[in-house]
Structure 1
Amino acid sequence: MPPLPFPFALNIGTDVVHLPRILRLLRHRGARSQENYLDKFTRRILCPQEQQDFHARFSSAGDGPPLPPVVTSDMARWLAGRFAAKEAARKAAPGGAASIGWKDVLIRAAPSTAAGSGRPEVVFLGAESRIGKLSISHDGDYVVATVLAAGDN
């Protein structure tokens, strides 16, 4: 008897990011500008809520620009985690990575419960927002993220 298909429509995506690559990218200075690539990178991959989270966490004022002139390893690790999680989410999207943009995915902590703090999750933004499960891990120079999302068969 041939095997039966899995009874649920599930999609999975995984991504691995090499942290030194992200650090080099964020510290890169353009030929025509003394400004580093940090601002361009964050505007390109982070949706508005993530940009607020980023600025609250890393700006000197704590509530928005300006960012510190130096890209720290904590900042690069946070952004590498977001990048890996978003890439994994794009791969888990029913139409694949080409069907969804960076800003169409929100990475956040799930609302806290009485049992403890919220786990990270993926929110696929759009007319009908959907939540996917996210596992993210940092180890030395690497960040890995895996997303499990319900979708079409």
Structure 2
Amino acid sequence: MLKWLRSLAEPVMAPGNRTWDLEPYLTNSARSILETASKNGDDLTEPRIVRHTLTLPERSTAIAFRNAVPSEWITNVSARTDGTAWQCDCEREWTPSISGLTLDTYRLWTLALSHHPTLWAYIGMYDESGDYYWCVAPPMMEFTEQ
């Protein structure tokens, strides 16, 4: 299954003929947060809130992204605390798996990149009890038109 997901994340073509190679960040981010949960005794068998926060440079771009996110996600757009950009939180409650988290991340990142070629994103997840919150963030991704 993971091999199939990786093949999806190979260079992606989207509107504007932009090509994005999301690996190794895509798989590494999903794997890293699940490994953190496991190391902290979370067996990942219970549903919990998983949050993707995607930062975009302008409010209108963040809102356009939010409006394109599938309806099963709860979304919220807000200004970053440093005032330099806008972020869209996308949350849903489910029991995460490596394949599901990788696919969700792939879908949200490519959707955001179809709105703007620069993206800073992180994945966050509560533990089973809801007491602890873990997150992982790859470096900022910047792409140019090919």
TM-score by length of 1: 0.30
Question: Which has more strand, going by share of residues?
Answer: 2
Larger Rg: 1
TM-score by length of 2: 0.32
